[in-house]
Structures are given as structure tokens and as C-alpha cells.
Amino acid sequence: MDSTRAIIIKIETSGEADILATVYTELFGKMTFMAKGARKMEAKLRPDLQPYSLVELSFVRGKNNLLLTGAKTIETFITRESGYKDIFAATLLTFIIDVLVVQPEKDERMFLTILASFRAITQPQFFSGTEAGQGDRKCWVIVQRFFWSMLKMSGVFVLSEKCPQCQQSFEDGAVFNFSGEILCRSCEKSSSCLLDKEDLYALQRIMDEGISGQIPEHVYEHLDKVLITFLFKEDFFVEANPVAVSWFLERVV
């Protein structure tokens, strides 16, 4: 029998009374467990198998699947009293994990990043971006920083001032492709998601400081579209918004 701390990402029904729990564990990475009979009202596991929570799990390795034998809630991130913005942000975090994390490989840094991001949604003391943490954009910054941090930990995404392939500067903007790379427009012809200098500057601030107060609305909207385009692999191109170029010139040039 094994045991580990785990963050519950997704709960699905299976058969008449079973539950499939997708979690990110501290010791084994992303895994899916079968909880036999956990949907029954009298099941001991049922109260502790709630999405958006940190639990201590024990399990055995069956012939065809992993079987949960015990669960105890340590911390709950989303409750019935949570606001809709917090719930939506937590849902996006779980979706990002589900899309970006495929293999069940242990990654302590990733586990701690996931844990800190869930805590930051409802517990301001865990959010390092003080300016954003006091405003309506707190959840937006948490989701954006989490998305780009997860890509960075995957070893593909690198945020720099030059194209990693040809070393040319991003004078004409860049392209964020479906592999998670940011390349110049000469090296990446697909035009999956176009990023201008405003977008790149805003991403740098979010990654370094977690601050959103000085980022204009059109950049928020464009980065949202970039995230959604990547996650859902929509067949449309996201054009960079040309509005308020003066904002960028005043702060960077």
C-alpha cells in the first residue's frame, strides 16, 4: 500500500457506484484512481473526494487500475461560499493541468506550484502580486501565471527577448505555437497565436511580479484568447490588438 498527498483535479462517475478521481500527487505525479462504491451515501471515501482539495490518499496497485483505500481532507480550496470568479479560476487551473500534464512523473516543483496557485485563489497571503491581489484581476493573474509557469516547467516555453531558434529580437512581435514555443514570425509560419510587444511585456511582468494593475484591458482580453486558443486548439488565429500602442511606448521605449 502507498500513501501520498494529492490535489484532486477531477471527479468522474464510473459504473453504478464507483468514482474515478484524477489527482496530482506529491510523490507520483498525475494519476487516476478508482474508488469502489464511493458514490454510495454510506461510503467512507465519499466526503473526502471533492474537487479542488488537498487530501492524504492511500491506495493499492490493482491488476488493471489503482484502487483507493483511504482519503482524508487536509485543505479545501473551493467551498459553497466561494465566489464565481474563484470557482471559474479553479476550474481553469484543473483544465490546464489536465491538458498539459500527461505522464505520471513525479515533479515536486510542479506539485508545489499547483498547490500555491489553488491557495492563492482564496487565500491572499499566498498571492505574491500585492497590487493584483487587491483588485478584480487577482484570479486572472493567477491563471495566466499558472499557465505559463506550467509550460515553462515542461521544458518547452522560454520567455526571452530573442527567438530561441534564430536569436533574432522580437521587433515585429512573436508567434506562440501549439507546441508551447514563442518564436519569431520568420521561424514559425503557422501563426497559431500572434503576440505583439505589449503582450510579451505584460507576460514578463506577470511572470516576474504577478502584478496586473498597469496592464490595459485590451492586453487582458488578448492573452485570454491566447490561453483559450492553446487549450482548446481552436482553428482560428488570434491577432494582436493594435489599441493603445502609446501605453507600451511610454513604459518600455
Structure confidence by residue, pLDDT tens digits, 165-211 = 889 888 888 888 888 888 888 888 776 688 888 888 888 888 876 55
Average pLDDT, the chain: 80
User: Looking at the domain assignment, is residue 94 inside a domain?
Assistant: no
User: Looking at the domain assignment, is residue 141 inside a domain?
Assistant: yes
Domain that holds residue 139: 127-251
Quote the CA–CA distance of 213 and 143 in Å, as a whole number: 16
Instruction: Give the domain CATH number at 48.
Output: 2.40.50.140
pLDDT at 125: 53
Do 137 and 200 belong together in one domain?
A: yes
User: Looking at the domain assignment, is residue 192 inside a domain?
Assistant: yes
Do 60 and 170 belong together in one domain?
A: no
Do 147 and 236 belong together in one domain?
A: yes
- Band of pLDDT at residue 234, cut at 50, 70 and 90: low
Kindly report the pTM of this predicted structure: 0.80
**Cα three-residue angle 217-219-221, rounded to 5 degrees:** 70
Residue that terminates a domain, selected from 37, 54, 76: 76
- Band of pLDDT at residue 128, cut at 50, 70 and 90: low
Contacts of 172 (CB under 8 A, 6+ apart): 184, 185
What is the number of domains present in the chain? Answer: 2
Alpha helix stretches (DSSP H) within 59-137: 84-100, 108-122, 130-133
Do 214 and 151 belong together in one domain?
A: yes
User: Looking at the domain assignment, is residue 27 inside a domain?
Assistant: yes
Residue 95: pLDDT above 80?
yes
pLDDT digits (tens, 9 = 90+) for 23-55: 999 999 999 998 888 888 888 888 888 899 999
- Band of pLDDT at residue 110, cut at 50, 70 and 90: very high
Residue 252: exposed, middle, or buried by beta-carbon count in 10 A (0-12, 13-18, 19+)?
A: exposed
